[in-house]
Amino acid sequence: MSSKTFKYLRREGASSRYCCVPSCKMSSRFNSVISFHSFPLNKETRKTWLQNIRREDCKVSPNTRVCSRHFRTDDFIEQSTPTSRRLLKKGAVPTLFTRNNNSNTSAPKRTGLWRRRRVPSPLKQDPVPTGFQHQEHDYCSSLIQDHLEVDEAEVLRKEVERLKRQVAELSVLQRFYLGRFAASDDDIRFYTRFATYNHLMAFWRLIEPASHNMFRLIRVRTATMSEAGASGSTSCQSMQPIDEFFLFMVHLSVGLTERDLAHRFNIHQSAVSPIITSWANFLYAILGSVRIWMSEEAVKAHMPKEFQDYPDTHVVIDCIELRCKTPTSLLLQGEGSHCTYKGLIGMAPHGAVTFVSSVYAVSDKELLKQSGIVSLLKPEMAIMVNKGFFIDNCVPCKVYRPSCLLKKEQMPAEEVRETQSIARLRVHMERLVGRVKQHKLLDTVIPLCDTRTINQLYTVACLLINYQNGPLLKAWAND
């Protein structure tokens, strides 16, 4: 048989044939080169075949075959065409086997099993009678080979499993979604301003039931915009609702641009704006529907000891400034032209946000009037404001405010002590404003794409303070 190497191809539509020679695993199912030959009708030739393949007890049937790998090249009749059926010459017998390395030599005479065993002494043994000779099938070699194949298959299976895990880990690292940062509270705090992953998930469980109706509208709108975008971009429909919420929080907390968010979340840039707008409106409606203004009894019940000198304080208020790009002049936009909006925020003495106004481009005093907080104040209440915030004639209650010198050369000692006391309490209000400004989108010049939802973004950022963090002072946690 020639030493040519054939490429075994699977034969479609043909019945499978197998070689009956021990240890030969040739099958007609996966190749079209090897031919399979039935046993000759001549009894003597058939007996020679059975002796050569060492299967004298084999019951030969019309389907019993020997493959062409066990015949020499000159045992075949020369073919007229390459596709002709291969035929054996008359009297050809199989002589090529793995035990003789497929060499072109005649098959050696079979020996009994006991003759193959080594004897401890050089004594000559009597030949075993022919009737008691065992057929020499190399079962031990076959079992060892099968065992090695099983071990190799197990090693390959473990390697495949390892590669699958590695691909899954790389996929997680390449994707920018909430599950990637679930094990790191530091990353959750950086991207969402929630203290821990558990805080974030607790908030998600509160809003998730009310979000189902919103998702249907978002998906239709963003999917349409994504299909109109560049080919190959991922549609927003592939994002989970919680990842859409995560995208909104990253935009609000880190201030990433729409283009940056599109690259990170692997969606088209045109799909980012609808997600941000929809979630801003949704959270504005959901969080805004919760009553945060506290009654006098509730405020007094949570009053910390730091306010013992001002026990009638009901709310501490301050203004937050927001800078937004102006669309009036395309030439000036590149030079940093922007306008300033202001929003009023109120904090209960124990640190909870109890009032948030809309944003206006007005003065502080006018903002107080338009915010609506005046109608909530009662004469027996008191408010605490920053110095320079002269609103005494605008509210029906007492006002605590640090004193300022104005035209006085020196402040009386009593006013100095009161000013210092109020200033120490006002520090907590400044910390609260600092928490709001930790949402980097509000601490920079807000881009034009967010100007139309600036009121919703500001309100949501303020209301989220009650969910994202613990108390301003650890000592207040148990009050």
Say if 224 falls within a structural domain: yes
Q: Is the pLDDT of residue 442 over 70?
A: yes
Note whether 301 and 286 are same-domain residues.
no
Among left, alpha and beta (phi > 0; psi -120 to 50; other), residue 478 is: alpha
**Cut 0.75: pTM above it:** no
Say if 41 falls within a structural domain: yes
Say if 155 falls within a structural domain: no
Q: What does the pLDDT read at residue 258? A: 92
Q: What does the pLDDT read at residue 234? A: 42
Report which listed range, 247-251, 307-311, 335-339, is most confident. Answer: 247-251
Q: What does the pLDDT read at residue 233? A: 41
Mean per-residue pLDDT for 281-303?
Answer: 93
Final residue in a domain of this structure, among 290, 314, 342: 290
**For residue 322, what is the DSSP state?**
E
Q: Is the pLDDT of residue 95 over 70?
A: yes
Q: Report residue 170's pLDDT band, with 50, 70 and 90 as the boundaries.
A: low
Say if 167 falls within a structural domain: no
Cα 358 to Cα 462: distance, rounded to the nearest angstrom:
11
Mean per-residue pLDDT for 447-470?
Answer: 90
Cα 315 to Cα 355: distance, rounded to the nearest angstrom:
9
> Parallel, antiparallel, or unpaired for β 65-67 and 36-38?
antiparallel
CATH number at residue 406: 3.30.420.10
Of 276 and 3, the one with more pLDDT: 276
**For residue 34, what is the DSSP state?**
-
Say if 159 falls within a structural domain: no
Asked whether the beta carbons of 309 and 284 are under 8 A apart, the reply is: no
- Please count the other Cβ atoms lying within 10 Å of the Cβ belonging to residue 320: 20
Cα 371 to Cα 348: distance, rounded to the nearest angstrom:
17
Note whether 324 and 190 are same-domain residues.
no
Among residues 325, 320, 321, 303, the alpha carbon closest in space to that of 312 is found at: 303
Q: Is the pLDDT of residue 115 over 60?
A: no
Among residues 168, 173, 99, 102, the alpha carbon closest in space to that of 136 is found at: 99
CA atoms within 13 A on the CB side of 302: 16
Instruction: Give the C-alpha distances (Å, rounded to integers) separating 348 from 284, 298, 458.
Output: 21, 10, 19
Cα 461 to Cα 280: distance, rounded to the nearest angstrom:
10
Q: What does the pLDDT read at residue 157? A: 87
Note whether 100 and 249 are same-domain residues.
no
Q: What does the pLDDT read at residue 387? A: 81
Q: Report residue 230's pLDDT band, with 50, 70 and 90 as the boundaries.
A: very low
Say if 451 falls within a structural domain: yes
Question: Which residues make Cβ contacts (< 8 Å) with residue 384, sequence separation at least 6?
Answer: 310, 313, 315, 316, 317, 399, 400, 401, 422, 425, 426, 429
Of 199 and 3, the one with more pLDDT: 199
Mean per-residue pLDDT for 155-163?
Answer: 88
Note whether 283 and 369 are same-domain residues.
no
Q: Is the pLDDT of residue 323 over 60?
A: yes
Separation of CA 275 from chain center: 19
Q: Which residues is 343 bridged to in the sheet?
A: 320, 359
> Parallel, antiparallel, or unpaired for β 338-347 and 313-325?
antiparallel
Of 295 and 80, the one with more pLDDT: 295
Cα 409 to Cα 147: distance, rounded to the nearest angstrom:
101
Q: Which residue has the tokens 């909104």?
A: 248
Q: Which residues is 400 bridged to in the sheet?
A: 384
Pairs from 100-103 (Cβ < 8 Å, separation ≥ 24): 102/1, 102/69
Q: Is the pLDDT of residue 474 over 80?
A: no
Q: What does the pLDDT read at residue 123? A: 45
Asked whether the beta carbons of 472 and 351 are under 8 A apart, the reply is: yes
What tokens does 28 get? 């007609």
Q: What does the pLDDT read at residue 377? A: 94
Cα 86 to Cα 223: distance, rounded to the nearest angstrom:
62
> What domain range is 322 assigned to?
293-479
Mean per-residue pLDDT for 212-224?
Answer: 57
Burial zone of 391 (CB within 10 Å; 0-12 exposed, 13-18 middle, 19+ buried): middle
Say if 89 falls within a structural domain: yes
Asked whether the beta carbons of 287 and 211 are under 8 A apart, the reply is: no
Note whether 251 and 320 are same-domain residues.
no
Q: Report residue 405's pLDDT band, with 50, 70 and 90 as the boundaries.
A: low
Cα 193 to Cα 181: distance, rounded to the nearest angstrom:
13
Helix axes 197-207, 241-254, angle to 10 degrees: 120
Q: Which residue has the tokens 């054939």?
A: 6
Note whether 366 and 456 are same-domain residues.
yes
Q: What does the pLDDT read at residue 102? A: 62
Mean per-residue pLDDT for 386-401?
Answer: 88
**329-379 per-position pLDDT tens digit:** 455 444 556 788 999 999 999 989 999 999 998 988 899 999 999 999 999
Mean per-residue pLDDT for 130-157?
Answer: 65
Note whether 243 and 364 are same-domain residues.
no
Note whether 273 and 333 are same-domain residues.
no
Note whether 196 and 305 are same-domain residues.
no
Asked whether the beta carbons of 377 and 396 are under 8 A apart, the reply is: yes
Mean per-residue pLDDT for 9-19?
Answer: 60
Q: Provide the 3-class DSSP secondary structure of residue 317.
A: strand
Asked whether the beta carbons of 225 and 268 are under 8 A apart, the reply is: yes
Q: Report residue 110's pLDDT band, with 50, 70 and 90 as the boundaries.
A: low
Note whether 434 and 313 are same-domain residues.
yes
Question: Which residues make Cβ contacts (< 8 Å) with residue 86, sequence separation at least 6?
Answer: 35, 68, 76, 77, 79
Final residue in a domain of this structure, among 275, 290, 305: 290
Say if 163 falls within a structural domain: no
**For residue 89, what is the DSSP state?**
P
Residue type, 340: T
Q: What does the pLDDT read at residue 259? A: 93
What tokens does 257 get? 């641009």
Cα 258 to Cα 449: distance, rounded to the nearest angstrom:
9
Of 234 and 369, the one with more pLDDT: 369
Final residue in a domain of this structure, among 249, 274, 290: 290
Q: What does the pLDDT read at residue 29? A: 73
Separation of CA 459 from chain center: 30
Q: What does the pLDDT read at residue 118? A: 55
Q: Which residue has the tokens 């050369």?
A: 409
Q: Report residue 108's pLDDT band, with 50, 70 and 90 as the boundaries.
A: very low
Q: Report residue 17's pLDDT band, with 50, 70 and 90 as the boundaries.
A: confident
Note whether 443 and 346 are same-domain residues.
yes
Asked whether the beta carbons of 246 and 178 are under 8 A apart, the reply is: yes
Q: What does the pLDDT read at residue 224? A: 53
- Please count the other Cβ atoms lying within 10 Å of the Cβ belonging to residue 470: 11
Q: What does the pLDDT read at residue 169? A: 65
Share of the chain above pLDDT 90, in %: 36
Q: What does the pLDDT read at residue 212? A: 80
Q: What does the pLDDT read at residue 58? A: 86
Of 341 and 26, the one with more pLDDT: 341
Q: What does the pLDDT read at residue 105? A: 46
Note whether 344 and 439 are same-domain residues.
yes
Give the chain's domain count: 3
